[in-house]
């Protein structure tokens, strides 16, 4: 039996068993960089084996989404710990931006395509939020604004600006479609 870590090939262990009938019986364990170890039974020693590779088969997209959700949850918790007013100042523009994505969700005539476009738009907003809240990006925003407004207000104002632009686009697209329908 070979136990290997899919992330780091240096953490591979070879376990030689006596047979398939007795998996907890005597064994020889070979780990790179360590001497061979013989165990009478599996419980006779607390030999540290490399992590088993079975837990990290999650697709990259889902891992990335989970990381972004965790980082955003930490940001929300930090804002909530600062007080209710900073939390609401941060959350309301984000909700406004997410609600402004309604036109993206109705982009196609196929419902499954709309679902995937909505998921992609939500993931894009999560990624944008993570990107704008990075310390390096906060420093760049602060140096660009030269202290005109606090950095803590810059990200909500960016969300508000994107939301207004999306709503303006939605209204203009609706007016253009209605004008085309009236001419027919």
Token pair for 169: 């686009």
What is the pLDDT confidence band of residue 52, given thresholds at 50, 70 and 90?
very low
CB 152 within 8 A of CB 82: no
pLDDT at 108: 79
CB 105 within 8 A of CB 118: yes
User: Is the predicted pLDDT of residue 41 greater than 80, yes or no?
Assistant: no
Q: In angstroms, what is the C-alpha Rg of the chain?
A: 27
What is the pLDDT confidence band of residue 91, given thresholds at 50, 70 and 90?
very high
pLDDT at 53: 44
């Amino acid at each position: 039996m070979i136990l290997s870590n899919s992330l780091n090939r240096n953490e591979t262990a070879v376990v030689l068993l006596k047979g398939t009938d007795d998996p907890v019986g005597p064994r020889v364990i070979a780990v790179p960089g360590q001497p061979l170890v013989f165990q009478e039974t599996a419980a006779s020693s607390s030999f540290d084996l490399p992590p088993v590779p079975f837990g990290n088969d999650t697709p990259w997209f889902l891992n990335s989404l989970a990381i972004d959700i965790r980082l955003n949850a930490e940001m929300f918790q930090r804002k909530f710990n600062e007080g209710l007013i900073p939390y609401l100042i941060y959350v309301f523009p984000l909700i406004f931006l997410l609600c402004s994505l309604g036109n993206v969700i109705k982009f196609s005539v196929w419902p499954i395509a709309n679902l995937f476009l909505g998921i992609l738009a939500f993931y894009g907003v999560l990624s944008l939020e993570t990107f704008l809240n990075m310390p390096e990006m906060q420093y760049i925003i602060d140096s660009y604004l030269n202290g005109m407004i606090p950095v803590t207000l810059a990200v909500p104002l960016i969300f508000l600006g994107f939301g207004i632009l999306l709503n303006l686009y939605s209204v203009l697209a609706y007016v253009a479609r209605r004008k085309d329908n009236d001419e027919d």
